[in-house]
Amino acid sequence: MEILVQETVDKMSEVAAKVVAKTLNAKPNCVLGLATGSTPLGLYKELVRMHRDEGLDFSQVTTFNLDEYVGLTKDHEQSYHYFMHENLFKHINIPKQNIHIPSGTTENYEAFCSWYENRIVECGGIDLQILGIGSDGHIAFNEPSSSLGSRTRIKTLAKQTIDDNARFFDSAEDVPIYAITMGVGTIMEARKLLMIANGKAKAEAVAAAVEGPVTSMITASALQMHPHALCVLDKDAASSLKMLDYYDWIQAKMVDAP
């Protein structure tokens, strides 16, 4: 895994946006996997800026979001549909029909999940998947003990995740208990993975994911098995990494590398 540590969260977002822009410029009809949460907000802001000021073109891009709460309608302010529309889609020139977000209100979840999986394949697979990390080490809503081969399905949220996400709702009781989420296996099929994390609260989860054993107890640790996984961190999120000096050394030496 490549680890890039940035001084600030803004730098983290800028570097992540450059990675997305590079993918998009190299392949204008690329397929992007998108994440929600507070972590990618700066990244989306920067992509919107690049679209506005530099003409970054999303007209041929297709997107697949990682997850959605079960039971929340598209216009619910805490739904991931609403989040994506408000923070990215309404500000860029992506065609509506190219956007895919798991449905939190389908009548038949099993059929929807298999449609979602097939649709990713039909679109050529995900070129770059953006990921955050939960404080319990989850990616998307793949909570501890999720199979590392799992596919898109319904997951019951862990108590820790409900508590973490309660800040966006009126109370913890209002946080949905179930979510529909891409599986770890689905995520691992993306050609490139870009995980971003900031803040002290993520430091232990990041260290476990990057330097701990590969385990379903920290589903982000599956990234260690991916040939093209990049992890961009701010220095607080990187603060529990044992090999921090080595990652900095690699970055410093990269310019001269053969």
Q: Which residues are near ligand GLP by CB under 6 A?
A: 35-39, 66-67, 132-134, 140-141, 161
Is 100 among the residues known to form the active site? no
Helix (H) or strand (E) holding 86: helix 80-87
Closest CB to ligand GLP among 37 and 104?
37
What's the closest the beta carbon of residue 41 comes to ligand GLP, in angstroms?
A: 8
Is 14 among the residues known to form the active site? no
What's the closest the beta carbon of residue 194 comes to ligand GLP, in angstroms?
A: 12
Q: Which of 14, 46, 67, 68 is catalytic?
A: 67
Tokens of 189: 């099929």
Is 107 among the residues known to form the active site? no
Q: Which of 143, 164, 234, 236 is catalytic?
A: 143
Q: Which amino acid is at 45?
A: K
| Buried-exposed string 84-123: b where 16+ CB fall within 10 A, e elsewhere | bbebbbebbebeeebbbbbbbbbeebeebbebbbeebeeb
Separation CA 109–CA 224 (nearest Å): 30
What's the closest the beta carbon of residue 177 comes to ligand GLP, in angstroms?
A: 13
Closest CB to ligand GLP among 60 and 239?
239
Separation CA 167–CA 78 (nearest Å): 11
Closest CB to ligand GLP among 27 and 74?
74
Specify whether the CB–CB gap between 48 and 41 falls below 8 A: no
What's the closest the beta carbon of residue 254 comes to ligand GLP, in angstroms?
A: 27
Q: What angle do CA 31, 35, 157 make, to 5 degrees?
A: 130
Is 138 among the residues known to form the active site? yes
Closest CB to ligand GLP among 172 and 243?
172
Specify whether the CB–CB gap between 136 and 160 falls below 8 A: yes
What's the closest the beta carbon of residue 114 comes to ligand GLP, in angstroms?
A: 21
Q: Which of 136, 164, 234, 236 is catalytic?
A: 136
Closest CB to ligand GLP among 37 and 183?
37
Number of CB atoms found within 10 A of residue 239's CB: 17
Specify whether the CB–CB gap between 24 and 56 falls below 8 A: yes
Q: Which of 51, 138, 164, 236 is catalytic?
A: 138
At 95, is the secondary structure helix, strand, or coil? coil
**Where in the sequence numbering do the catalytic residues fall?**
67, 136, 138, 143
